[in-house]
Structure 1
Amino acid sequence: RGKGLPAVGTAALVLGVFREAAYDEPELLDVVGRIERSLARNLGGDDFVTAVVAGCPEPGRLETVNCGHAPPLLIRGTEVTAVEPVHPAPPLGLRALSEDTPRLQVVPFDDGDQLLLYTDGVTEARDAGRAFYPLSDGLTRSLRDGPDRTLAALHQDLLDHVGGRLHDDAALLLLRRPAAAQAGESAVVLPVADVDGATAA
């Protein structure tokens, strides 16, 4: 929530706590709990952070905890499906105001499957007619052989939608579980597009 230096500071806080907790805590829900406790001590009463925290603890198993964030998109072959939270939880920093608590959601994540995570700067990008960017349709159009090529195509599709320049920060993260036959490839590939800076890597 928010923009400018306060939002940057909040993001830095969340990432710092996450990086520490990810090494110490064996369970994803415990990582989320550490972030929540830190934010309760450090955020103002009106501040909050939406997040999807994901882990792949073993082959074929993807764990996610969604705290008020837009649902990731699961790509299996050419099919794109939103991973809607079964038990929605409030954004981080607002748990004290809600009886809902984060819950772990397990999704099959097999060889070749991909998961797209994104910020609201992507889905809230508008064209000249004020229509929001249809991310699921854009992703389906942009699927390519490799995650780097998919992100590059998706990035271009988004820029085409808005007329060449975004007016808000936006980021895309694409995770892919390599097929077993692809020897020597790491377990998960993490291409990132920082579409505010018009780069894809």
Structure 2
Amino acid sequence: MSRRTIWITVVAVAVLAVLGAGFWVGYQQAAEDDHGTNVVNHVGAEPEQGPRRGEPVPPRPSAAARPQPETVARQWLAGQHTLYAHDPRPDAWIARVENLATDQMRAGLAQFRDGNGGVVWENFQRQRCTRTVRDLHAEQAPGAPSTEDSRWLLVQGVAVTACELNPDTPPFPAETLVTATLELTREPSGEWLVNARTEAG
């Protein structure tokens, strides 16, 4: 091979090297630019196209709606009449409904504290009983006033007592209808809470 041929070959290889390096730099720069607009959901997932600069950002999903008055009323009645043998005291139900009550109602619950339950509570624990409420239903109380921020609801359910020992003679009736008329008021936060109560059953 002549010196002229060798020189042409060396020049050609150098030119190809320069072109290859330029292509690689451009490719890397394009990849970095694209990376700025990609969002990866998790490791190994295909990237999603995120909003480019200047495009509007989609709104975040709205917070879940707060429970409606009927839901709160049902939760209250269930909490009031639910009792377990492992509860430390027969007034343990108060702790189950306090978070559903206004300050005024929580103050009124104080009268139910510190009751010893007497023989009924002793038998309830000895027989390892459970009292729960099923078939809960809440509706507007007949003839009761209703405003945007105050609702009077009639709520009812069936309290069921079941015991491990002597199941045929529970300390409470095996099944009994429980009802209450509750005033629910809407707090400034939008949360509905029980503010007053009258009951029967």
TM-score (norm 1): 0.23
Larger RCO (CA under 8 A, 6+ residues apart): 2
Greater Cα radius of gyration, structure 1 or 2: 2
| TM-score (norm. length: structure 2) | 0.23
The structure where strand makes up a greater share of residues is: 2
